[in-house]
Amino acid sequence: MAATRAYLDYNASAPLIAEARSAMVAALDAANPSSVHSEGRAARRLIEDARRDVARLVNAKPEHVVFTSGATEAASTLLTPDWQMGRGDVRMSHLYVCEADHPCVLGGGRFAAAQVTRIGVDRNGIADLDALTKALAAHDRADGLPLVAIHAANNETGVIQPIGRIAEIVKAARGVLVVDAVQAAGRIPIDMSAGYADYLILSSHKIGGPKGVGAIIAHADLMMPKPLINGGGQEKGHRAGTENLPGIAGFGAAARAALAGLDAMEAVAQCRDEIEAIVRELAPDAEIFGAAAPRLANTTFFAIPGLKAETAQIAFDLAGVALSAGSACSSGKVGPSHVLKAMGYGDSLGALRVSIGHTTGAGEIEAFRPALAAIAARRAGKEQAA
């Protein structure tokens, strides 16, 4: 990315960190990690080192990490009625997701639409825990177990779900909990050893690693979903196909840096607060979504009355500032945010998302201010003309 531009779209994809790039380049010449010769064993070591580093990021055991092609594949694998424990089959008869989940969870994976219940969120974006409790109480275990999937932190608003409480509710209902920690990992501490979730979903490119690699992380050696991809038995049979070695090596390096960076989130929060102060100063009528709830330190999602988000995004881009109108994960899709809709905001003109990271600093903030000032001035001009 050009140094002269201000990149404020980390939740879409965080810039590749130098350590990840070096690890990837070093892995490009690696042999097949399933080969038994020395070259193969060296390649295997790269994968197992990365597995250890990814596990450490969330305090899990390396043997419980399964590498995938990203979080979307991890979700599609986990969200299935068909599971196995040893040689026995286990059935999940219903899936409970959250209205504000990422589409890869909201879509219900391999469940039929009739087997999926969506739990709403309040005005702050927090899941309705009473509704979840009631839905699980009504679950008929005769057909199978309840599977609950929810994001730890929202990709648009940054709002953090009370996963501790949710885990208690799911445990009391003897259900299984999948947590999409794609935006939370590396931004808040996650401790799988303390029973944070039964299964976790991670994505490398949100923490400074390469795109196209992610992971499923299990809490224990219990059951696993029937694989989505069958073949040569890689990843202990949970995800076949010769491993994406450069991707996995880059993911490992990014996970190592993300763990170290957890101690420096205060500086990221300060930067985000400065950006919000500029928004409030230049557009006092702006609404910052989820501001009353616990939020990730790196995210702000706001709407300015009378300002169409897509138009403002283009104006920011022309001014050298890359940010998002809603979520950018669904590549160029223009439409109202389903997250804001779930929070009760209806079809508004849309919102702008600024998401930052450890490398964001004064330069980016200096670029953001005049860009927003110009947009706000144009809005004021239009209001006067009207």
| Active site (catalytic) residues | 329
Nearest to ligand PLP of 119, 304 (CB atom): 119
Contact criterion met (CB below 8 Å) for 182 and 201: yes
Task: Report how far residue 108's alpha carbon sits from residue 66's, in angstroms, rounded to the nearest whole number.
Answer: 20
Q: Are 190 and 182 in contact (CB under 8 A)?
A: no
CB of 180 to ligand PLP, least distance (A): 5
- Cα 79 from Cα 224, distance rounded (Å): 11
User: What Å distances lie between residue 58 and 212, 250, 371, CA to CA?
Assistant: 20, 17, 38
Measured from the CB atom, the residue of 9 and 283 that comes closer to ligand PLP is 9
Name the residues that contact ligand PLP, by CB under 6 A: 70-72, 102, 104, 151, 155, 180, 182-183, 203, 214, 329
Beta strands in the chain (DSSP E): 6-7, 65-68, 82-85, 88-98, 116-119, 145-151, 176-180, 199-203, 214-218, 224-225, 287-288, 299-303, 321-322, 324-325, 352-355
Query: What's the CA gap between 220 and 229, in Å, rounded?
Result: 22
Tokens 């979520």 map to which residue? 327
Question: Shortest distance, CB of residue 214 to ligand PLP, whole angstroms?
Answer: 5
CB 332 → ligand PLP: shortest distance, Å? 14
Nearer to ligand PLP, 149 or 173 (CB): 149
Nearer to ligand PLP, 153 or 304 (CB): 153
Q: How far is the CB of 97 from ligand PLP (least distance, A)?
A: 12
